[in-house]
């Protein structure tokens, strides 16, 4: 398995998915070698939870460009000589250069979003950034150009893969229509999470206090890396209406990132509080460890994800749903694969602060609706988005890919 990131590089959705899958495969008896970018501390090999991790020397952490292809090709060849591989799994686009490199060994690709989606997202951010922010617009335009070049280059490589995993209905259509992947090569495997770790539990008053909620008042949770495309600014713009309609309601923002200072300034300008504020409608909590998140979801009355990124669904939505919480989220990208509006969550047009406020108010004013949506959300995740289903689905793709290149479909 090749991935640009691993848990040693920090927190993130791709890290979580790649590591959960690698561990799950190892627990099923597979021998898993995870080849990834370098570590800042210089460690090159590590074995964790039955998975062998190989960190490439001379490849910058999280940068699967430049020397990555040469170094990863050499590492995979060395490992293959020691013990022949049966499958190469490219997480994102970083292993596609190995298609055909090892005769009889199929390459399976799992795009975590596509460059086509990134193009559309960057175009949207350019439009949002233009008024009074020429530097932000220029940066977004530069990234748009980069994604356009990658989109043009990666399409032919992706078509050479022996099997391609689509992680949502929307991604399947993008892969089919925009990348020209034949139906015979496309396989549906939804990203999943551990529904035993993320499960309903009683709220801890100490956690509610840490998140800024006052006793007996509603708490809405947002968990995200703080980048512009995550859309937390739209939740902030919605919050004055929510706070006015639902007295005492608190928005807790868990996460950190380069956009945090801008978000805190926006919150202060809206009278919602800023850095270190206490007893205010909005609390910026900062980043928390993964093991702390289930307690945060349990403490919340609802979850909000106002992303404007056109890509796969955020794992935080899955986590909140698995914990039995009603989710109010953007109707964008792959989110509709996960959430059915009015059945197991609430979908809102992306960037619509007024609409977001209205739907949050509806949910918070009805504890019965909160409970019903949360229970349905938990069922959805357990039935279709569990870690077990993701591992089993991936193994089935491996078997199909091996059969397609004449290997034994074990």
- Residue 196 φ then ψ, to 5°: -85, -40
- Owner of token pair 């990348």: 179
Q: How confident is the model at residue 139 (pLDDT cuts 50, 70, 90)?
A: low
Residue 406: predicted pLDDT: 56
- Per cent of the chain over pLDDT 90 is 79
Reported as a single tens digit per residue, the pLDDT across 191-224 is 999 999 999 999 999 999 999 998 889 999 999 9
* In contact, 81 and 34? CB cutoff 8 Å: no
In eight-state DSSP terms, residue 207 is H
**In sequence order, which residues have a C-beta less than 8 Å from that of residue 17 and are 6 or more positions away?**
91, 112, 191, 315
Which range is least confidently modeled, 26-35, 236-245, 399-408? 399-408
Mean pLDDT, residues 296-310 taken together: 96
Element (H, E) at 90: strand 88-91
Residue 278: predicted pLDDT: 44
Q: How confident is the model at residue 119 (pLDDT cuts 50, 70, 90)?
A: confident
Q: How confident is the model at residue 133 (pLDDT cuts 50, 70, 90)?
A: very low
Measured CA to CA in angstroms, residue 343 lies from 196, 224, 380, 385 at distances of 23, 24, 10, 16
Reported as a single tens digit per residue, the pLDDT across 261-284 is 999 999 999 998 754 444 469 999
Residue 13: predicted pLDDT: 85
List, in sequence order, every residue forming a beta bridge with 2; answer none if it has no partner.
35, 90
Which range is least confidently modeled, 80-89, 152-161, 288-297? 152-161
- Give the separation between CA 64 and CA 55, rounded to whole angstroms: 12
Measured CA to CA in angstroms, residue 93 lies from 4, 16, 62, 179 at distances of 9, 17, 13, 13
Q: Is the pLDDT of residue 366 over 50?
A: yes
Instruction: Tell which wins on pLDDT, 44 or 123.
Output: 44
**In sequence order, which residues have a C-beta less than 8 Å from that of residue 248 and are 6 or more positions away?**
214, 216, 217, 218
- Residue 108 φ then ψ, to 5°: -105, 135
Instruction: Tell which wins on pLDDT, 149 or 56.
Output: 56
Q: How confident is the model at residue 136 (pLDDT cuts 50, 70, 90)?
A: low
- Altogether, the residues listed in the chain come to a count of 410
Mean pLDDT, residues 168-176 taken together: 94
Structure tokens that stand for 319 in this block: 């986590």
Reported as a single tens digit per residue, the pLDDT across 323-336 is 999 999 999 999 99
Residue 71: predicted pLDDT: 97
Q: Is the pLDDT of residue 82 over 80?
A: yes
Q: What domains are there in the chain, each with its CATH number?
A: 7-193+387-404 (3.40.50.2000), 205-384 (3.40.50.2000)
Mean pLDDT, residues 20-32 taken together: 96
Residue 154: predicted pLDDT: 82
- Give the separation between CA 378 and CA 259, rounded to whole angstroms: 31
* In contact, 216 and 246? CB cutoff 8 Å: no
* In contact, 38 and 404? CB cutoff 8 Å: no
H helix intervals, 301-349:
315-322, 335-338
Residue 132: predicted pLDDT: 42
Mean pLDDT of all residues belonging to the chain = 91
């Amino acid at each position: 398995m090749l991935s640009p990131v691993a848990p040693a590089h920090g927190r993130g959705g791709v890290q979580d998915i790649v590591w959960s899958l690698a561990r799950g495969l190892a627990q099923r008896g597979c021998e898993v070698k995870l080849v990834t970018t370098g570590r800042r501390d210089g460690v090159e090999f590590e074995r964790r939870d039955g998975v062998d991790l190989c960190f490439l020397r001379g490849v910058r952490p999280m940068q699967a460009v430049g020397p990555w292809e040469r170094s990863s090709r050499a590492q995979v060849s060395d490992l293959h000589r020691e013990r022949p591989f049966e499958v190469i799994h490219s997480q994102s686009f970083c292993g596609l250069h190995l298609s055909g490199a090892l005769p009889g060994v199929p390459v399976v690709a799992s795009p975590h979003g596509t460059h086509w989606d990134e193009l559309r997202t960057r175009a949207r951010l350019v439009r949002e950034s233009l008024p009074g922010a020429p530097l932000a617009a220029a940066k977004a335009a530069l990234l748009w150009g980069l994604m356009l070049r990658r989109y043009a280059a990666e399409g032919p490589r992706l078509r050479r893969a022996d099997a391609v995993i689509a992680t949502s209905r929307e991604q399947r259509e993008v892969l089919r229509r925009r990348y020209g992947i034949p139906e015979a090569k496309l396989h549906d495997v939804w990203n999943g999470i551990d529904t035993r770790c993320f499960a309903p539990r009683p709220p801890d008053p100490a956690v509610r206090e840490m998140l800024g909620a006052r006793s007996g008042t509603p708490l809405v949770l947002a968990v995200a890396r703080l980048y512009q495309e995550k859309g937390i600014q739209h939740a902030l713009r919605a919050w004055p209406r929510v706070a006015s309609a639902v007295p005492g309601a608190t928005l807790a923002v868990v996460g950190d990132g380069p956009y945090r200072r801008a978000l805190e300034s926006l919150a202060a300008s809206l009278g919602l509080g800023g850095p270190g504020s206490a007893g205010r409608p909005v609390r910026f909590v900062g980043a928390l460890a993964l093991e702390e998140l289930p307690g945060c979801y349990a403490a919340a009355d609802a979850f909000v994800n106002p992303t404007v990124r056109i890509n796969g669904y955020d794992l935080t939505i899955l986590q909140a749903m698995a914990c039995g919480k009603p989710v109010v989220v953007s109707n964008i990208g792959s989110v509709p694969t996960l959430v059915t509006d009015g059945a197991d969550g609430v979908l809102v047009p992306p960037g619509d602060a007024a609409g977001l406020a209205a739907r949050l108010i509806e949910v918070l004013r009805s504890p019965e609706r909160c409970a019903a949506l949360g229970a349905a959300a938990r069922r959805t995740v357990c039935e279709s988005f569990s870690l077990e289903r993701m591992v089993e689905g991936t193994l089935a793709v491996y078997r199909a890919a091996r059969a397609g290149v004449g290997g034994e479909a074990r």
